[in-house]
């Protein structure tokens, strides 16, 4: 009994921290997935249960960003269906790429995103969105579909890639990019959750308490992001990008 209490306490604290970070800059899975695995769950159940809990947190932070006008509603209505389709295809696709090659490519991409963001003083500092055009809508559709697919079958770094892509395509600042990225990430999360649920890979005994703490973490994190804006989001975004790359490297080597 004592061991179970210790495991659940650890899982809830880790879930709160993961959701807090994820609601601001993405990357919460770096904390939460290992936490579920450390409770003794198999990888499939850990991923499925994590999706259940993470969906509650991403929904909470999405609502906060939405209510405060930091999500481009018109753009999200266009992009969300493509994220959903991509996630469904991703979950149902047998991965053809060599696993080591995939890890290597993602590590290089995440490190590049983090390094560019770190050394670019102007990136995401101002909101220079000029409106929707055929070109940026098409670019956004490609981004939404690709990262929905990627999140469906692999996942690490999805939030970082979404924020980076939205800033460069639409000239959002970090705050608006983070809000819109969280919305799209919620769509891919909930889609993946349904797929895991249909295959019976969710344990509510772990998912419900973790989800409650993720809701609390998301509420606090998104409120802090709205208050502090890009000054808080950018350094945390860079830090989580680098942390994701390091975790992937460790996973690949092990």
From first to last of the 254 residues of the chain, give the pLDDT tens digit.
Answer: 788 888 899 999 999 999 999 998 888 888 898 899 888 888 878 888 998 999 999 999 999 999 999 999 999 999 999 999 998 888 776 445 555 666 677 778 778 888 888 788 788 889 999 999 999 999 999 999 999 988 877 676 788 889 999 999 999 999 999 999 999 999 988 988 888 888 888 999 999 999 999 999 999 999 999 999 888 898 888 888 888 888 778 877 77
Alpha-carbon distances, residue 242 vs 117, 152, 236 (angstroms): 11, 22, 10
pLDDT for the residue 94: 45
Q: What is the pLDDT of residue 96?
A: 55
Contacts of 191 (CB under 8 A, 6+ apart): 83, 84, 87, 88, 91, 148, 152
Q: How far apart are CA 91 and CA 143, in angstroms?
A: 17
Could you give the angle at the alpha carbon of 143 between the alpha carbons of 27 and 127, nearest 5°? Answer: 75
What span, in angstroms and rounded, lies between the C-alpha atoms of 227 and 222?
9
pTM equals: 0.84
Q: What is the pLDDT of residue 98?
A: 58
């Amino acid at each position: 009994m004592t061991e179970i209490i210790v495991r659940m306490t650890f899982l809830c604290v880790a879930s709160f921290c993961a959701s807090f970070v994820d609601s601001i800059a993405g990357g919460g899975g770096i904390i939460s997935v290992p936490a579920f695995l450390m409770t003794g769950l198999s990888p499939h159940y850990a991923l499925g249960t994590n999706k259940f809990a993470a969906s509650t947190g991403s929904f909470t932070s999405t609502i906060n960003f939405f209510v405060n006008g930091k999500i481009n509603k018109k753009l999200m209505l266009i992009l969300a269906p493509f994220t959903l389709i991509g996630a469904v295809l991703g979950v149902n696709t047998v991965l053809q790429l060599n696993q080591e090659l995939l890890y290597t490519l993602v590590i290089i991409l995440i490190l590049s995103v983090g390094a560019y963001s770190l050394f670019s003083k102007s990136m995401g500092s101002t909101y220079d969105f000029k409106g929707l055009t055929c070109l940026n809508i098409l670019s956004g559709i490609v981004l939404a579909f690709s990262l929905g697919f990627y999140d469906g079958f692999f996942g690490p770094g999805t939030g970082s890639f979404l924020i980076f892509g939205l800033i460069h395509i639409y000239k959002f600042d970090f705050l608006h990019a983070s809000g819109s990225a969280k919305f799209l990430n919620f769509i891919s999360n909930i889609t993946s959750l349904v797929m895991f649920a249909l295959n019976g890979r969710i344990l509510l005994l772990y998912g419900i308490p973790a989800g409650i703490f993720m809701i609390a973490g998301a509420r606090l994190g998104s409120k802090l992001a709205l208050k502090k804006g890009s000054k808080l989001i950018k350094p945390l975004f860079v830090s989580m990008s680098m942390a994701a790359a390091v975790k992937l490297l460790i996973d690949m080597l092990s």
